[in-house]
Structure 1
Amino acid sequence: MRVLFATAEAYPLAKTGGLADVSGALPLALRRLGLDVRLVMPAYPSAFMRIEKPRIIAKIPPLLGIADATLVEGKFPGSDLPVYLIDSHSLFRRPGGLYQDEAGAEWPDNPLRFAYLAHVSAALAMNRLGISWRPDIVHANDWHAGLVPFYLSLEEAERPATIFTTHNMAFQGNFSPEWLSKLRLPRAYFQPGGIEFYNQISFLKAGIRYADRVTTVSPTYAREILTPEFGCGMEGVLKLRGADFSGILNGIDDALWNPASDPALPHHFHASDISGKRACKAALQEELGLPLRPDVPLIGFVSRITHQKMADVILEALPWLCNQDTQFVSVGEGDPKMEAGFDQARELYSHRCATVIGYDEAMAHRLQAAADILLAPARFEPCGLTQLYALKYGTLPIVRRTGGLADTVVDASAASIADRSATGFVFDKIAVDDLKAAITRALTLYREPLTWRRLQLQAMAQDFSWDASATQYAALYSAASGIAIDLGDRDQHKSVAEPETTRQAAV
């Protein structure tokens, strides 16, 4: 089966968040299953720097007023995954971030930039760019690629089947209707049953409404976004998709995130010998100027510093936490006022608190390896990856019971400790007292070394690699396209449950 995977970012070519981690790992896992997957994304400067063996394979005909674009083919770093970069100097070769300028303001032409991504992806899917390859499935990701299923739905000729994955319903790509004609969007579709959302064009709604199948990134989040609390106004659109909507849990790249071989770590370790984890802890304490205390619990927070990630609640708890004979380290960036709050905590509690403002991938790895406990709460969380990394590194996560956090962390209750299923600590309410209570439970068990070691072993034994998730996606591709997929010797994951549909979620 041939699959075109359309995304705005993929690590390590370009990254702002979890979408890049998924887009950099899922296609590779699908190729391991024998699928002919190819990635298409914009040619940001960072992507050009990191792609392997790039070469121009097509001149893209003038489209949406853009006449300077070429299609560049190369290989995803360290793999045989083909990548198509859409190279337009006027759209993608610019300073600043992927979606924002150097001052942090959204690029005003983002509607054009990502409609262009969708148009070129659709042209690739219909084999109109002369590369002699046509997919059976087009898998579009998040609002940036939301117009891909819509444009393909307008095709009169036979077209590939389409899958659309929403990674976070809060990011919708809503723009003024003034863009309709500029983006070649037929005005007849600008209505509630089409791509209109509160008198704006919605790229996200276009993907949900016009893809053949729709997925999100965890079963619990799939249930949650059918409700007004989490659906961000589109719960009705999702409900209309019925059994065509499902939740498939994200995985992690366990080659990239592996404490036994992680090149970012000063010392390696594995489940049967975690002496290297203790050495990583000492190294990080020294690096950040914290007292070298092997006995004190080191609590980490690796996250965007945002309201969604409950950074405000963590800040409220910090004075209490720093008086519990603990050490706290945060790594991340986000809301400037909350960043300042973490900096202030570092100044007030310099012997117990360290803060790294700005996202540092290598530091994130080192903190996951060094920490004993990871704070990973959220007001909502489609899937979450940091808690999965923590489990892999024997760092017990503290999470709120929502979305993918609820699907991946088993609370350390008396029963789950006894039956050896516990892997972390879960609380329910968005309140500082509930967070503090979960931390208190974790600190109590930390001081019981045998119990804590057993919890670490159980956490590290969890398998959240992409293999099982990729098998579920392969089954979805088969159902959407009507093409059988023979996994052959790769059949070990066929026992994985089918994705949970909205019909099942309503039960």
Structure 2
Amino acid sequence: MGPSAWGRPVLEPLEPLAPRAPQGTRKTRPRVTQCTEPLSIVFCAAEVAPWSKTGGLGDVMGALPQALAARGHRVTVVTARHTNGGADVARYDGAEGHAPAPRAASALAPCNALTPSPAAAAQVVPGGPLHIELGGGRQAVELHRLEADGVEWLFVDHPVFQRPGTPYGDANGPFEDNLFRFALLSLAALEAPLRIAASGGRSLGDDVTFIANDWHAALLPVFLRSRYQEGGAYRGATCALAIHNLAHQGVFPSHAFNGLSLPGGTYGLLEWRPPPGPGEDPNNHREATLNVLKGGVECADSLITVSQNYALEITSSPQPQGIHTLLAQRRALLRGIVNGIDTREWDPSSDPLIPANYSAQDLAGKAACKRALQRELRLEPDPRAPLVGFVGRLDHQKGPDLVLESLPALAALGCQVVMLGSGAPDYEAALQEATKTYGFFFRAVVGFSVPLAHRLMAGCDILLMPSRFEPCGLNQLYAMRYGTVPVAHATGGLADTIDDVSAFDGGEEGTGWTFSPATLDALAGAVAAAVRCYRSSPAAWGAVVRRGMAADHSWEGAAEQYEKVLLGAKERRLAAAV
């Protein structure tokens, strides 16, 4: 790292502090209530932590299956075996119609640097490759299997998953063959239980419960209905579609339908005409497209999204990303379930990545973490200066521009501010420019570091989350767990998980401050209210901190709610068969 004296901007990622030696082994998962009716559950997702992760979806897919397995269900997760090697992406049957054109070298760091890699730990499922009809060819797909944490993890190996970048694209944009790639993943998830049973493994039976996640797996319920159940397979199976972010729907030209190997009668399930944009003629009829998420919503037996408030928003707001009417029609099948967090990984009493451990009963370690973070960031070690953090993707949704616009107001309040994140180049450049103007109290770390994220959660007093929309959000849950008070836009899951102190007389309840709308004035007002409490009433501030730390955001409660949704879909299927 280049030299940087106190008061000068920090532009590049900071060198991480050497983590403390752990005080003991990682906490084991506590005993949880066992289900009375075990299910055979198969998840399908484009990313699964720790093997591949670009955001919250990967975290959810790494933790929720374990929580359901702990309740007694048999759980399998099917994801792509992403590798960064230079395999020839055109080396598969029918590739001439689907392989992307050669792309310029990507500067984007791969998201899937795996430790340990699936190649090292997972074993190839015997019986040879699966042969899947798709895209005008017969695709040879190999399955790699790993059992860990009570879950069967299956990695789908095919040339389309062997390329640098993220699971979705690289610095040049989304991969041009993403429709083919994720259709293949969905079909592999349907074939995998059949192959495991045929190769001597335990059969999942005919009444498998599939959970498809986001548009990348939304073709699974379409294929299940049209290619399997109508042919006599999986007659008792059900599929839940989990919508983690409605902003991403998988929209493609209508002619791409020809490459999906679906019956012609299913085209209407996927056909979608985007609504007129702002200022356009409402009678304007746009060209038909394919909307993969729409097809999943049409065919799924149940729908799940990641908070109750977000479920309300996407079924009642006018034209939320274009499929409001369909979601409203299927509202009876939609359930909002707030995501949990891994309370073993995110535990300030035992976290080896922070300078000092602490608990709600003894917050001395949190003060030590703040001093250490101020030293690391070369900020004045002033205990009375509220240390305000932002951790997140640098894009319009997350509102980093609102944080930057609020810097003069935060300076007037005597705050210190640190932002950690990467994303759109214009936002990254704006962070770097801001350090030149506000270097006396502002630090920017462009990039991402898990250890630094832990240190920020432990060392900051306030976490800003000015997201314009937020289906669930995880950072506010991490922050409260670490005694860092969230100040957030009251939208989606943020409104569901943060109790606004200002809404209670006397400030004797609440876990943070929320504001609406997502504007500079509203954000600055909420921060000012939080800072007044921080400075004028340490006892009241400590109570807010402790209430946040005491809140239960573990996965066990969310897993129980998922279980109820899945059992309800199974009961409806059985009733319909009578």
Match of 2:298 in 1: 209
Q: State which of 45, 51, 54 in structure 2 corresponds to 1:7.
A: 45
User: What percentage of aligned pairs have identical amino acids?
Assistant: 38
SS of corresponding position for 1:226: helix
1:180–1:186 Cα contact (<8 Å) kept? no
Q: State which of 45, 51, 61 in structure 1 corresponds to 2:131.
A: 61
Match of 1:120 in 2: 188
Moved over 4 A (4+): 125-129
2:238–2:570 Cα contact (<8 Å) kept? yes
1:42–1:117 Cα contact (<8 Å) kept? yes
SS of corresponding position for 2:486: strand
SS of corresponding position for 1:421: coil
1:208–1:214 Cα contact (<8 Å) kept? yes
* CA–CA separation in structure 2 for the residues paired with 1:299 and 1:230: 35
Match of 2:117 in 1: 50
Q: State which of 163, 188, 205 in structure 2 corresponds to 1:94.
A: 163
Are the structure 2 counterparts of residues 477 and 62 from structure 1 closer, same or farther at C-alpha, using a change threshold of 3 Å? Answer: closer
2:146–2:154 Cα contact (<8 Å) kept? yes
* CA–CA separation in structure 1 for the residues paired with 2:157 and 2:124: 9
After TM superposition, give the deviation of residue 269 of structure 1 in Å. 1.1
Q: State which of 242, 266, 271 in structure 2 corresponds to 1:189.
A: 266
* CA–CA separation in structure 2 for the residues paired with 1:477 and 1:414: 35
Match of 2:448 in 1: 359
Letter in 2 for 1:421: E
SS of corresponding position for 1:40: strand
After TM superposition, give the deviation of residue 250 of structure 1 in Å. 1.1
Spell out the pairing of 1:415-430 with structure 2 (5 A cutoff): 415=504, 417-418=506-507, 420-430=508-518
After TM superposition, give the deviation of residue 359 of structure 1 in Å. 2.1
* CA–CA separation in structure 2 for the residues paired with 1:302 and 1:323: 22
SS of corresponding position for 1:163: strand
Are the structure 2 counterparts of residues 222 and 113 from structure 1 closer, same or farther at C-alpha, using a change threshold of 3 Å? Answer: same
SS of corresponding position for 2:343: coil
Match of 2:547 in 1: 458
Match of 1:409 in 2: 498
Letter in 2 for 1:80: G
- Map Cα deviations across residues 130-151 of structure 1 (whole Å, 9 max, x no partner): 2443262001100000000110
- Map Cα deviations across residues 29-66 of structure 1 (whole Å, 9 max, x no partner): 10111111111100012358434731100411153236
Are the structure 2 counterparts of residues 48 and 355 from structure 1 closer, same or farther at C-alpha, using a change threshold of 3 Å? Answer: closer
Letter in 1 for 2:248: F
Match of 2:389 in 1: 300
Match of 2:210 in 1: 138
SS of corresponding position for 2:59: helix
The structure with more radius of gyration = 2
* CA–CA separation in structure 1 for the residues paired with 2:193 and 2:392: 36
After TM superposition, give the deviation of residue 242 of structure 1 in Å. 3.3
- Map Cα deviations across residues 435-484 of structure 1 (whole Å, 9 max, x no partner): 10001001100102111111111111111111111001111111111399
Letter in 2 for 1:413: S
After TM superposition, give the deviation of residue 431 of structure 1 in Å. 1.4
SS of corresponding position for 1:180: helix
Match of 1:325 in 2: 414
Match of 2:77 in 1: 39
* CA–CA separation in structure 2 for the residues paired with 1:444 and 1:149: 52
SS of corresponding position for 2:122: strand
1:125–1:159 Cα contact (<8 Å) kept? no
Spell out the pairing of 1:274-353 with structure 2 (5 A cutoff): 274-353=363-442
1:416–1:422 Cα contact (<8 Å) kept? no
After TM superposition, give the deviation of residue 74 of structure 1 in Å. 0.7
Structure 1 stretch displaced more, 409-418 or 43-52: 43-52
After TM superposition, give the deviation of residue 337 of structure 1 in Å. 1.4
Are the structure 2 counterparts of residues 416 and 203 from structure 1 closer, same or farther at C-alpha, using a change threshold of 3 Å? Answer: farther
Structure 1 stretch displaced more, 53-62 or 302-311: 53-62
**1:180 matched to 2:268:** no
TM-score, L = length of structure 2: 0.79
Structure 1 stretch displaced more, 114-123 or 281-290: 281-290
Match of 1:21 in 2: 59
After TM superposition, give the deviation of residue 169 of structure 1 in Å. 0.6
* CA–CA separation in structure 1 for the residues paired with 2:570 and 2:393: 37
Letter in 1 for 2:62: G
Letter in 1 for 2:222: F
Letter in 2 for 1:442: A
* CA–CA separation in structure 2 for the residues paired with 1:178 and 1:371: 51
Letter in 2 for 1:225: I
* CA–CA separation in structure 1 for the residues paired with 2:465 and 2:318: 21
Spell out the pairing of 1:367-378 with structure 2 (5 A cutoff): 367-378=456-467
TM-score, L = length of structure 1: 0.90
Are the structure 2 counterparts of residues 108 and 63 from structure 1 closer, same or farther at C-alpha, using a change threshold of 3 Å? Answer: same
Q: Give the alignment's Cα RMSD to 1 decimal.
A: 1.9
Q: State which of 148, 151, 164 in structure 2 corresponds to 1:81.
A: 151
SS of corresponding position for 1:12: coil
* CA–CA separation in structure 2 for the residues paired with 1:426 and 1:66: 53
State how many pairs are aligned. Answer: 477
* CA–CA separation in structure 1 for the residues paired with 2:487 and 2:147: 38
Letter in 1 for 2:300: A
